[in-house]
Every structure is written in C-alpha cells, then in structure tokens.
Amino acid sequence: MSGLERMDRPRRWPWVLGGGLLVVIAIGFIGLHYYVQREKEDTGTLAVTEKVTPPVAGVWALPTSSEKDSAGMAASAEEGVKLPVATSVLPVTVAEKVVSMPSSSVTALVAEANALLVADQKDVAREKYYEALADRPDNLLRATIEEKLGKLNVEMIRLPWPMAEKQEYVVQTNDAIKFIARKFGTTVEMIVKGNELKRPDMIRPGQRLKVFAGKLEIVVNKSRHDLLLSANGRFFKRYSVATGRYEKTPVGSFIIVDRIPEPPWHRDDGKVIPYGDKENILGTRWMAIKATGATPEIRGYGIHGTWDNTSIGKSESAGCIRLKNEDVEELFEMVPIGTTVTIGD
C-alpha cells in the first residue's frame, strides 16, 4: 500500500521547471524592450545635440579637440573644417556643403578685416585682407577679397590715410609738387588728393606731406580681359578691360611714356578728332605706351577710356587697352610716366 501511495502522488518538478523557464523568458522580453527604447532615445538625443549650427557672419567655427577626437575628423585649415556630425543624422546635401566650404582661416581673416573696416582701422584691415589672399582662397572668395581690397587701396591712396607704401616728406625751400612727385615716382594728383591740398601751388617750407612711394606696375591678360595693378609686387586693384580684335593687341614689355587728360584722337588717315567730338573713341584719358627690351617697336598703342562700356570684357578695340572712363580716370591719377606695362596672352 505504501508503494501504491508513492505511485499515485503527483510529480511536481516538471511544473516547477516550466514555470521557471517562463519567468526567464518574460524577463528577457522586458530587458529587450527596455534596450530598444533606450536606443531610440539616444538616437533622438544625437540628432539634437549634434545638429549643425548655422555659421555666424559666414565664418565656420573650428571644432573643439574633444569633438575632433570623438568624430575622428580633424583636418588642416587648407582642407576645410569637417564638422563632427553623425552621417546617419545629417542630410547628404548639408554634408556636401560642409566639405566644399573655403578654409576657415580665410573666412575668419575676412570677417576680422570687415570688422576692422567698420571700426575705421583701415591700415590694419588692409593687412588682414592681404593675409587672406595669401591663404589661397577659392576663386569666388578671392574675387570678393580682391574687390574689397582694391576699393580700400584706392580710397587710402587718395586720402591722408597711413599706408605701408607712404612716406612722410618735409617740404624744402623752392619745392614744387611736380618736383616732389618726380622724386618719389608718383603723380601730382596723388600728392594733391592724398594730402587734401586746397592750394597745391602754395606749399610752404617745413610743411609735412604723406607721399606714396610704392612702385606701381601693370599686367594685362588678354584672354581674361583684365588689368592687374600691383604695388611693390602686391595686388593693388584689378580692372576689366577690352583688348584688340583679331589679336591686334601686342604682347611684351612696355612703359608709359605720356599721360593726356581729355585727349584728341589722331585717326589713321591723319585727321585729328578733338576731345568731346562724338567720333573721338579715346574716352576721357590716354596713356601712351612704348616697347622696351626685346619687344618689337610699336606706334599708336596705349591705355585709354571709352564711351562704349558694352565693349569691356571683350576683344573689340583696334589694339589698345580700353577701360571704362571712371576706371581709366582712377588709374590715370595713380600711375606716373615710367610705369611698366606687361601684356600677355
């Protein structure tokens, strides 16, 4: 009977084992659900915290050292700044813009120069623009810098602003503006305007003048239709020009040998067309050039203005270098007789 009683007693261990397995499975599902939720929350946080912040005043800030290390994207200034963003979150179009951005050092220098201009610190701003040019900006940014720098250079040379190329001169007995201009290799116009002289014919001994003493040079590029003015080997300003039809503009080395305001035009047939006549094509200024060195001798060529601005940027002159009247007047004031002119293809 005792044996029969043992055989009829229910066996509990299979039920205990099955219940334990169910508990383990339930705990596993709960843990998996919790893990998935945390992953979603982390992803959302990443999208918010690593979102690209729009640049201020066109300048992209350099990432911190911790950001560089975590993203593994440290780059040199010349390669551009690669921001530490998660590619799974950042749209492709924005990522492409980040890669193609100009060097942060260039944009930072330009922003600094712009701020200095606002503060009227023109000489310091000018050097910052030169630093930006030396940092090899892309073509679009280079054009912007050249435009700002060219405008600033002309403003500073025409007014009593300090410039690296200017020297102080004390007027001597029997001095005249034209003698001082010849001594420093500049023009009368630059001394008069650069010192705001009301009566240039009445300078007095002991008077102090700021005189531009930089060496100006002109380089004309026929294919680009531009004229580059440099001072002591540095960029000064770039002008758009027209050159000769059918490659008539000569190439080589030249110097300016004459400067004539409101010039008459000597036609090929010998007839002289006075300034102001509608047939006179020379505009408001004329600077004659002469070949130097091994360059073949030429006659009748020069740099002049035009009444037809639609020709600028094209090959439409009879062979001369043609500028807008306002541009040739500006150039005329700055470049003296003896200025070198190099013309290339």
CB 230 within 8 A of CB 219: yes
207 and 247 both lie in a single domain: no
113 has pLDDT over 70: yes
Per-residue pLDDT band at 104 (split at 50, 70, 90): confident
Known catalytic residue at 320: yes
Could you read off the pLDDT of 199-229 as tens digits, one per residue?
A: 999 999 999 999 999 999 999 999 999 999 9
180 and 140 both lie in a single domain: no
Boundary-marking domain end, from 83, 100, 117: 100
51 has pLDDT over 50: no
Q: What is the CATH number of the domain that holds 281?
A: 2.40.440.10
pLDDT score for 175: 95
336 and 236 both lie in a single domain: yes
Catalytic residue among 33, 225, 266, 304: 304
193 and 86 both lie in a single domain: no
Listing DSSP states for 196-244 in one string gives: T-S-GGG--TT-EEEEE---EEEEEETTTTEEEEEETTEEEEEEE-BEE
319 and 249 both lie in a single domain: yes
Assess if residue 291 is contained within a domain: yes
CB 303 within 8 A of CB 323: yes
CA distance 138 to 54: 21
Assess if residue 5 is contained within a domain: no
CA distance 309 to 315: 13
298 and 195 both lie in a single domain: no
187 has pLDDT over 70: yes
187 and 129 both lie in a single domain: no
Boundary-marking domain end, from 212, 228, 246: 212
Known catalytic residue at 304: yes
Q: Which residue has the higher pLDDT, 13 or 231?
A: 231
3-state secondary structure of 64: coil
Give the mean model confidence (pLDDT) for residues 289-302: 96
Full domain range(s) for residue 89: 68-100
227 and 305 both lie in a single domain: yes
* Token pair listed for 56: 């201020």
pLDDT score for 33: 55
Q: Which of 11-25, 31-45, 198-212, 292-306 has the lowest mean pLDDT?
A: 31-45
What count of residues does the chain have? 345
Mean pLDDT in the chain?
80
CA distance 41 to 207: 77
Assess if residue 20 is contained within a domain: no
Assess if residue 59 is contained within a domain: no
pLDDT score for 70: 39
Could you read off the pLDDT of 54-74 as tens digits, one per residue?
A: 333 333 333 333 333 433 333
94 has pLDDT over 60: no
117 has pLDDT over 90: yes
- Compute, in degrees rounded to 10, the torsion defined by CA atoms 67, 69, 72, 75: 70
Residue 258 belongs to what H/E stretch?
strand 252-261
Catalytic residue among 33, 225, 266, 320: 320
pLDDT score for 17: 57
CB atoms closer than 10 angstroms to residue 106 = 24
Assess if residue 129 is contained within a domain: yes
Domain count of the chain?
Answer: 4
80 and 127 both lie in a single domain: no
Q: Which of 11-15, 104-108, 143-147 has the lowest mean pLDDT?
A: 11-15
262 and 148 both lie in a single domain: no
Assess if residue 140 is contained within a domain: yes
Give the mean model confidence (pLDDT) for residues 220-242: 97
pLDDT score for 253: 98
314 and 289 both lie in a single domain: yes
Give the mean model confidence (pLDDT) for residues 321-330: 98
Burial of 76 (0-12, 13-18, 19+ CB in 10 A): exposed
Could you read off the pLDDT of 244-288 as tens digits, one per residue?
A: 999 999 999 999 999 999 999 998 888 999 998 989 999 999 999
Assess if residue 55 is contained within a domain: no
Q: What is the CATH number of the domain that holds 170?
A: 3.10.350.10
Residue whose C-alpha is closest to residue 283's, from 316, 245, 324, 314: 324
CB 225 within 8 A of CB 298: no
Per-position b or e across 30-61, b if 16+ CB within 10 A of its CB: eeeeeeeeeeeeeeeeeeeebebeeeeeeebe
CB 106 within 8 A of CB 135: yes
pLDDT score for 45: 39
Distances (CA, A) of 97 to 39, 92, 153: 29, 9, 33
